[in-house]
């Protein structure tokens, strides 16, 4: 029999599991943007390579969110996340064949494997986390995204330069296997409620009712739709920063690939702090007010890159990038927690999948549009100015949600 104190802290182990799975998924997802300049050179593509391949990855995530719910129900959220990690790692292995068709397919698999991370993690934490701590706990879990980004930025470019693709593959596969094995310890407890009668064949995945489930869960509440579309505009800004920051540092600012990785890691590092701070603020204040303030700050930070030039001192760029880790990339934990709070009873995972699906659409179209602007104009400043304007549109969707 558990004591009251034991019950109070029962959420910590599930949080550590979801944090580890989220961190590993994000680490693999960042393979493409952190190595984008090298991939572009190998493939013979232009400056928009990062945005195009990142968008293909998000298409893969969207496909999982549309069809993957039966997998989570049948095997449980921990096992679904573990399967996703192995699929993503297989996609990363495929990148070692430097052909355009394989790079596109590899990016799709990396994104498809990333798909379970948010809805599965949300389902776990919603069941175990006290309501009073929900924003903070969800934000800590989402901090796994920038933690994975820090590791990717610091490890992968150096691995490629020092040891080529074999070193990159080792740097991806080893931590993936470690996380899969480490999270297995809690799988039996967390996945105990899985539906072993749930069919998981191709017919089930492609059934119209299955594909519609995430969006129908959102459609039950206009508030959920407004929150989700606010996330679309915020994800456009975040997606463009993540996809193009290393390319911007190398091509526009003139730094090496290794230094570009360090700059990318700085943004991810401050994002860890930012997500936890915003989550704590949202637990003590109004979540929607926090999201509004963050929207304005995100747009202002993006505008700073419009004026960045090669004669800027490194310290100035580091300051802007560090601020961006808080303002551009730290909103998601608060938003996911608020969607979880407002979701229909029994449909938390489905509503989160629907919201994440829409957010990932922003991660697809943002970098694609950025790539197009960059291809036609050759100017990062014009592209970032448009990103800042798009970010501000989130304020329209956040109207009337204070309660």
- Alpha-carbon distance of 317 to 248, in angstroms, equals 11
What pLDDT, on the 0 to 100 scale, is given for residue 184?
92
Over residues 121-126, mean pLDDT:
83
Task: Give 253's DSSP letter.
Answer: S
| pLDDT value of position 348 | 73
Give the mean pLDDT of the chain: 86
Residues 218, 211: Cα–Cα separation, whole Å: 13
The answer to which of 58-67, 163-172, 233-242, 337-346 has the lowest mean pLDDT is 337-346
Q: Please report the beta strands in 264-382, taking only residues with DSSP state E, as ranges in sequence order.
A: none
Interatomic CA distance for residues 32 and 53, integer angstroms: 7
Tell me the domain boundaries of the chain: 11-184+204-397
| Model pLDDT, residue 1 | 41
pLDDT at 2 over 60: no
Q: Report phi then psi at 57, rounded to 5.
A: -60, -40
* pLDDT higher than 70, residue 5: no
Counting Cα atoms < 13 Å in the Cβ hemisphere of 276 gives 11
* Rounded Cα–Cα distance for residues 338 and 342 (Å): 6
Helix or strand holding residue 183 (H, E): helix 144-183
CATH superfamily of the domain spanning 11-184+204-397: MFS general substrate transporter like domains (1.20.1250.20)
Name residues whose C-beta falls within 8 Å of residue 214's C-beta, 6 or more positions apart in sequence. Answer: 65, 66, 69, 350, 351, 353, 354, 357
Instruction: Note the pLDDT of residue 4.
Output: 45
Mean pLDDT along residues 192-215? 76
Q: Looking at the predicted structure, is the pLDDT value of residue 7 above 80?
A: no
Whole-angstrom distance, CA of residue 333 vs CA of residue 283 = 11
Rg (CA), the chain: 20
What confidence score (pLDDT) does residue 235 get? 94
């Amino acid at each position: 029999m558990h004591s009251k104190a034991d019950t109070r802290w029962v959420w910590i182990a599930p949080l550590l599991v979801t944090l580890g799975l989220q961190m590993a998924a994000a680490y693999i997802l960042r393979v493409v943007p952190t190595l984008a300049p090298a991939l572009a050179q190998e493939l013979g593509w232009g400056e928009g390579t990062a945005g195009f391949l990142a968008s293909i990855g998000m298409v893969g995530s969207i496909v999982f969110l549309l069809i993957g719910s039966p997998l989570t129900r049948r095997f449980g959220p921990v096992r679904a996340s573990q399967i996703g990690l192995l699929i993503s790692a297989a996609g990363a292995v495929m990148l070692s064949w430097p052909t355009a068709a394989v790079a596109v397919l590899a990016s799709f698999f990396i994104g498809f494997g990333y798909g379970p991370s948010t809805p599965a993690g949300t389902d776990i934490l919603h069941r175990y986390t006290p309501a009073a701590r929900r924003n903070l706990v969800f934000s800590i879990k989402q901090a796994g995204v920038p933690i994975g980004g820090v590791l990717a930025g610091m490890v992968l470019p150096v691995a490629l330069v020092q040891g080529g693709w074999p070193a990159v593959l080792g740097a991806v596969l080893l931590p993936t296997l470690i996380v899969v094995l480490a999270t297995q310890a809690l799988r039996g407890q967390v996945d105990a409620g899985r539906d072993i009668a749930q069919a998981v064949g191709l017919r089930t995945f492609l059934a119209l009712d299955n594909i519609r489930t995430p969006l129908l869960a959102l459609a039950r509440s206009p508030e959920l739709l407004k929150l989700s579309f606010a996330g679309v505009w915020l994800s456009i800004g975040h997606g463009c920063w993540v996809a193009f920051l290393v390319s911007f540092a190398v091509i526009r600012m003139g730094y090496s690939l290794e230094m570009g990785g360090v700059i990318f890691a700085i943004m991810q590092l401050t994002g860890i702090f930012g997500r936890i701070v915003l989550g704590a603020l949202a637990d003590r204040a109004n979540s929607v007010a926090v999201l509004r303030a963050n929207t304005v700050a995100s747009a202002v930070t993006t505008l700073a890159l419009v004026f960045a030039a090669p004669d800027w001192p490194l310290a100035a760029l580091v300051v802007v990038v560090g601020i961006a880790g808080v303002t551009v990339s730290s909103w998601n934990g608060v938003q996911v927690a608020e969607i979880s709070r407002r979701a229909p009873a029994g449909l938390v995972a489905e509503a989160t999948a629907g919201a994440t699906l829409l957010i990932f659409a922003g991660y697809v179209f943002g970098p694609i549009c950025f790539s197009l602007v960059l291809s036609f104009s050759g100017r990062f400043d014009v592209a970032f100015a448009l990103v800042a304007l798009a970010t501000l549109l989130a304020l329209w969707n956040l109207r009337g949600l204070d309660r």
